């Protein structure tokens, strides 16, 4: 039973990744041409996982601390000087 579920999961993952490669515009695919990604997703488990992991560039977890000069996320009220002045 576990073997059947593992095979079904692999097939579903491969089909999803293949159609995701097809519908993703060429300009958004990095590291390899679209055709090579379409072939790579047929390598069981490894190909689809690589596609899902790297389809839009390097995942944020692997980029480091992000963009130090870029916009910051929301801050809490206790970190906002304007809010603290109004107390």
**Looking at the domain assignment, is residue 81 inside a domain?**
no
The per-residue pLDDT for range 17-37, each reduced to its tens digit, is 999 999 988 888 878 888 999
In a domain, 8, yes or no: yes
Number of domains in the chain: 1
DSSP states of 29-73 as a string? --SS-HHHHHHHTTSTTHHHHHHHHHTTSS-HHHH-S--TTS---
Query: Residue 13 belongs to what domain range?
Result: 2-61
Residue 23 lies inside a defined structural domain of this protein = yes
Ranges of residues in the chain with a pLDDT under 70 are 56-75
**Has residue 69 been placed in a domain?**
no
């Amino acid at each position: 039973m576990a073997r059947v579920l593992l095979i079904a999961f692999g097939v579903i993952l491969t089909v999803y990744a293949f159609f995701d490669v097809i519908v993703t515009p060429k300009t958004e695919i990095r590291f390899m041409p679209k055709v090579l990604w379409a072939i790579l997703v047929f390598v069981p488990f490894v190909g689809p996982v690589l596609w899902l992991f790297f389809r839009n560039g390097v995942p944020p977890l692997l980029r480091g601390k992000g963009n130090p000069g870029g916009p910051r996320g929301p801050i809490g009220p206790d970190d906002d000087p304007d809010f603290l002045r109004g107390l």
